[in-house]
C-alpha cells in the first residue's frame, strides 16, 4: 500500500530519505548532466521561514520503503494563483503508479490553497529532440494534462575561459558612457533598490512563452531574505552592474557558486529597455566571469538556463563558449476555479 505523508524538514532522517529520492530521480533522467540542489541547500530552503513562499515536501512509502518524493511551493505575495510543484520517482520505482499518486496529492493540496495554475520543470537529455519526443517524463506530464509553456536549454561552460578570449570579447563591448561595478556577496546597499526592481521583472522581460505569471514586487526586504538563505546554503554570489551617466543601473548580471557541488550557476542577466543595443549584456557577463575566475579559480564549470526562443542571450552564451548539456521544459496546467483557502 502506498502512503504519502508530509515531511518535517527538521527531522533529519526523513528529510534525507526525501532528498535521496529526489536526487536519484534527477540523476536517473540525466546522469552526469543532472543539476541537483545539494542535500544541505535543499534542507536550508525547506527550513526557511519565508514571507514570500510557503514550501511543503512529501514522501511516498510502499511497504516501508521510500519510493518517491514531491514538493509544493505556494507564492504568498505575487503570482498567488500559481503553485510550483515537483514530482520525483527514482527509476527503479517508475511505471507503478507512484508518480501519478504523488502528482494527484500535490495538486489536491494546491487546490485547497486556492491555486489554479500548476507549474513544474522537467529535463531530458540533449540527445533527444527539442519537442521531447521519447522523453518519458514529458509523456507522463502530458498524460496528466500538462503542456510545455516554455522550452529552455541547459548550457554548460567549462572553466577557465582563456583571458585572451575574454579580452577579445570585451573589446567588442566597450560600454562607452557606462561605468562597470563588480562585487562578491550581497548587493551593495546603494544598488539594492534598482537591482531588486530589475531582478523582479526578469521572468516577464525574458521570453515567457505561454507561462501564466506576473512580475514580482521587487521588495528589498524580501530580496535580503533571499540573500540570507543563500548564505545559509553556503552559496557565494558574484554581481556586476553597468551604470548610466546618472548612476542608475542599466544592466545587471549574477553568478552564484555552490560550495557543495563546486559549480557556478548563471542567474539573472537583464538590460534595461532604454539601454539595449549597446552590448551591455555581453559586457556585464564578461566582467562577472572575469571576477569569478579571479576569485574562485577552483570553480570548473558554469551552468545557465535560457529560453530556446531567446536568440540574443543564446548568441551571447555561444560566444562565451557555452554548450548545450540538456533540455528543459517549463510545464503548466490550469486547474480551473479552485476553492479559497
Find the helix or strand (DSSP H, E) in which 137 lies: helix 136-143
The grid coordinates of residue 304 equal 545557465
Task: Note the Cα 164 to chain centre separation in Å.
Answer: 31
Return the percentage of the chain with pLDDT > 70, whole number.
98
User: Residue 161 gets which letter from DSSP?
Assistant: P
Residue 333: which residues within 8 A CB-CB, separation 6 or more?
Answer: 117, 118, 144, 145, 146, 147
Phi-psi region of 145 (alpha: psi -120 to 50; beta: other; left: phi over 0): left
Give the mean model confidence (pLDDT) for residues 1-18: 97
pLDDT band at 204 (very low <50, low <70, confident <90, very high): confident
Whole-number Cα distances in Å, 99 to 4, 157, 331? 11, 33, 16
Say which range, 14-18, 28-32, 106-110, has the weakest mean pLDDT.
Answer: 28-32
Task: Note the Cα 336 to chain centre separation in Å.
Answer: 26
For residues 102 and 58, give the distance between their C-alpha atoms in angstroms, rounded to a whole number. 8
The pLDDT, as a whole number, for residue 338 is: 42
Give start-end residues of each CATH 3.40.630.30 domain in the chain: 2-152+330-334, 160-299
For residues 84 and 149, give the distance between their C-alpha atoms in angstroms, rounded to a whole number. 14
Instruction: Please tell me the pTM assigned to this model.
Output: 0.92
Give the mean model confidence (pLDDT) for residues 263-272: 95
Q: Is the pLDDT of residue 142 over 80?
A: yes
Q: Which of 304, 197, 194, 217 is nearest to 255 (CA)?
A: 304
Q: Under CATH, domain 2-152+330-334 is a member of which superfamily?
A: Gcn5-related N-acetyltransferase (GNAT) (3.40.630.30)
Q: Could you tell me if 125 and 306 are in contact, meaning their C-beta atoms sit under 8 angstroms apart? A: no
pLDDT band at 340 (very low <50, low <70, confident <90, very high): very low
Give the mean model confidence (pLDDT) for residues 227-250: 97
What is the assigned CATH class of domain 160-299? alpha beta
Give the mean model confidence (pLDDT) for residues 83-100: 97
The pLDDT, as a whole number, for residue 215 is: 78
pLDDT band at 87 (very low <50, low <70, confident <90, very high): very high
Amino acid at each position: 500500500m502506498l502512503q504519502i505523508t508530509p515531511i518535517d524538514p527538521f527531522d533529519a532522517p526523513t528529510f534525507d530519505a526525501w532528498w535521496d529520492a529526489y536526487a536519484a530521480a534527477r540523476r536517473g533522467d540525466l546522469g552526469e548532466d543532472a543539476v541537483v540542489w545539494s542535500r544541505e541547500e535543499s534542507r536550508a530552503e525547506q527550513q526557511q521561514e519565508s514571507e514570500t513562499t510557503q514550501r511543503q515536501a512529501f514522501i511516498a512509502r510502499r511497504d516501508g520503503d521510500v519510493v518517491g518524493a514531491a514538493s509544493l511551493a505556494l507564492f504568498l505575495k505575487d503570482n498567488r494563483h500559481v503553485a510550483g510543484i515537483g514530482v520525483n520517482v527514482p527509476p527503479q520505482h517508475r511505471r507503478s503508479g507512484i508518480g501519478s499518486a504523488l502528482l494527484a496529492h500535490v495538486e489536491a493540496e494546491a487546490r485547497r490553497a486556492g491555486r489554479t495554475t500548476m507549474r513544474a520543470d522537467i529535463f531530458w537529455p540533449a540527445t533527444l529532440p527539442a519537442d521531447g519526443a521519447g522523453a518519458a517524463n514529458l509523456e507522463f506530464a502530458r498524460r496528466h494534462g500538462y503542456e510545455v509553456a516554455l522550452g529552455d536549454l541547459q548550457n554548460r561552460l567549462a572553466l577557465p575561459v582563456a583571458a585572451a578570449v575574454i579580452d577579445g570579447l570585451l573589446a567588442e563591448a566597450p560600454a562607452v558612457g557606462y561605468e562597470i561595478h563588480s562585487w562578491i556577496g550581497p548587493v551593495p546597499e546603494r544598488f539594492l533598490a534598482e537591482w531588486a526592481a530589475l531582478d523582479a521583472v526578469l521572468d516577464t522581460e525574458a521570453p515567457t512563452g505561454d507561462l501564466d505569471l506576473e512580475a514580482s514586487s521587487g521588495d528589498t526586504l524580501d530580496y535580503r531574505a533571499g540573500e540570507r538563505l543563500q548564505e545559509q546554503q553556503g552559496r557565494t554570489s558574484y554581481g556586476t552592474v553597468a551604470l548610466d551617466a546618472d548612476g542608475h543601473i542599466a544592466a545587471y548580471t549574477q553568478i552564484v557558486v555552490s560550495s557543495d557541488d563546486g559549480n557556478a550557476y548563471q542567474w539573472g542577466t537583464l538590460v534595461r529597455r532604454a539601454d539595449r543595443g549597446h552590448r551591455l549584456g555581453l559586457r556585464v557577463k564578461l566582467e562577472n566571469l572575469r571576477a569569478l575566475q579571479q576569485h574562485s579559480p577552483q570553480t570548473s564549470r558554469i551552468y545557465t538556463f535560457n529560453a530556446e526562443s531567446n536568440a540574443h542571450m543564446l548568441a551571447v552564451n555561444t560566444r562565451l563558449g557555452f554548450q548545450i548539456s540538456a533540455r528543459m521544459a517549463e510545464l503548466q496546467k490550469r486547474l480551473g476555479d479552485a476553492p479559497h483557502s
